[in-house]
């Protein structure tokens, strides 16, 4: 029986040829050989209208441990997945009310860290006060699920935003090399499974603890779907602990080879990709706008990127049609469409996004509203894919503040 590698050999070779011309890493297109019956899907690559001024500014959370009169910069490294619970134990013991300078960040053994725990900034507004809002925040962990190609350094500004307001944060990323070399029972499955187990342990430790998910692009969105699936099967009570979901630059309701090609091209080429430039929107002024880099008119992909996009599109036309992959994706997407937790949702997207079409997000939002979910959405109009925070920091912050206070940590609105 033909292997997955054999089926994909031609488009993969074409993509590799283009990758060489752009000095891409040799390993990014290395797939494991698997027989069709055993093949499983690769990890998936993976919006409110009343802005309000933030009461606190984003602080730079330092990794300091108080040692009498000295502060020692420190980082705890996890040597193996088996002790991934270590960050939780440190977070459990650390009390920002007692340790004014205590904030720990813990990373996995990967160079950039797949998994990192960020404690609330002890200097955050209200953290040291004994009020309901402070307690609610200290019992909430925000899980940041990164986009395709995201690293911990990319998620740090989001983690800092939450920790500066008194929340715990877990930031989770998957290396691009692990995603494209996916194999059954491999690193991707193991790391997502460990994250799920850790979150179950967190909310089960004492009553009153809750989860808020903040996902980025289709990778983070689909990892969220896999986590929901695991909770439903292994610990259904955790579903009720999910108090909110923020979806940045997603979702795509159905697999689309063109969208997947665009996402992978952006992850591979990074700032060289046209997907990072945004596109002209006539909705802003009625006459068209300048792009993110200041030039007028729609930027065009280079010859190299065009060739890569063609190769990737052909590649995903085969991959997404592969029976086991198609079934797996359908299961996760159906769950996200019809079985999401009964918690408020916020969708942040842009009409200028070249990866995830705005119409796809708007259509999904409407379906969720018809299903009875509490949904908020904000179109940022001009910002590129997963670039809304950098392009419009004030508006982005106001959407998060309003959503969290109106829908998630409602006691904070009452006490403000």
Average pLDDT, the chain: 74
User: Band of the pLDDT at 323, cuts 50, 70, 90?
Assistant: confident
> Distance (Å, rounded) from C-alpha 283 to C-alpha 380?
11
Record: fold of 4-415 = Rossmann fold (3.40.50)
* pLDDT for the residue 115: 82
Is the model's pLDDT at 398 over the cut of 50?
Answer: yes
* pLDDT for the residue 125: 59
pLDDT tens digits, 19-70: 433 334 333 333 333 433 444 444 444 444 444 333 333 233 232 223 333 3
* pLDDT for the residue 5: 37
Give the residue from 348, 353, 355, 354 showing the smallest Cα distance to 403: 348
* pLDDT for the residue 130: 54
Decide if 146 contacts 178 (C-beta within 8 A).
no
* pLDDT for the residue 76: 32
Which residues of 298-394 form beta strands (DSSP E)?
345-349, 375-379
For residue 22, what are its two tokens?
């752009």
Is the model's pLDDT at 351 over the cut of 70?
Answer: yes
Give whole-number Cα distances, 42 to 60, 159, 226, 325, 385, in Å.
Answer: 35, 27, 12, 7, 22
Give whole-number Cα distances, 364 to 197, 251, 338, in Å.
Answer: 29, 7, 11
Is the model's pLDDT at 254 over the cut of 50?
Answer: yes
Which residues of 150-241 form beta strands (DSSP E)?
168-172, 210-216
Give mean pLDDT, residues 355-376.
96
């Amino acid at each position: 029986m033909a292997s997955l590698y054999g089926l994909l050999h031609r488009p993969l070779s074409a993509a590799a040829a283009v990758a060489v011309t752009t000095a891409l890493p040799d390993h990014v297109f290395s797939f494991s050989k698997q027989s069709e019956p055993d093949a499983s899907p690769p990890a998936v690559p993976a919006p409110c209208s009343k802005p309000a001024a933030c009461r606190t500014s984003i602080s730079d959370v330092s990794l300091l441990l108080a040692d009498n009169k000295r502060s020692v910069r420190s980082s705890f490294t996890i040597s193996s997945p088996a002790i991934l619970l270590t960050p939780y134990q440190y977070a459990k013991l650390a009390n920002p009310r007692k340790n004014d300078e205590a904030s720990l960040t813990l990373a996995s053994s990967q160079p950039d860290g797949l998994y990192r725990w960020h404690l609330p900034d002890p200097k955050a507004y209200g953290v040291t006060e004994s009020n309901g809002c402070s307690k609610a925040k200290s019992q909430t962990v925000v899980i940041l699920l990164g986009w395709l190609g995201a690293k911990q350094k990319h998620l740090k500004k989001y983690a800092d935003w939450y920790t500066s307001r008194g929340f715990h944060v877990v930031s989770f990323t998957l290396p691009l090399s692990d995603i494209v070399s996916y194999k059954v029972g491999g690193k991707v499955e193991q790391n997502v499974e460990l994250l799920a187990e850790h979150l179950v342990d967190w909310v089960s430790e004492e009553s009153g603890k809750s989860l808020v998910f903040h996902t980025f692009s289709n990778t983070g969105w689909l990892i969220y779907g896999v986590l929901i699936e695991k909770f439903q099967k292994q610990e259904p009570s955790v579903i009720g602990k999910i108090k909110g979901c923020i979806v940045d630059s997603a979702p795509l309701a159905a697999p689309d080879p063109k969208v997947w090609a665009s996402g992978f091209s952006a992850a591979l080429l990074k700032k060289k990709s046209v997907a990072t430039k945004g596109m002209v929107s006539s909705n802003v002024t009625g006459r068209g706008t300048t792009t993110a880099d200041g030039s007028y008119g729609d930027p065009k992909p280079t010859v190299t990127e065009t060739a890569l996009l063609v190769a990737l599109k052909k590649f995903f036309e085969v991959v997404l049609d592969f029976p086991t992959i198609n079934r797996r994706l359908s299961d996760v997407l159906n769950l996200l469409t019809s079985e999401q937790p009964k918690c408020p949702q916020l969708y942040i997207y842009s009409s200028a996004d070249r990866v995830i079409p705005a119409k796809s997000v708007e259509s999904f939002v409407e379906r969720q509203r018809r299903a009875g979910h509490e949904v908020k959405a904000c179109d940022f109009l001009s910002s590129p894919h997963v670039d809304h925070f950098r392009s419009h920091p004030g508006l982005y912050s106001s959407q998060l503040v309003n959503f969290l206070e109106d829908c998630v940590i409602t006691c904070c609105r009452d006490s403000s």
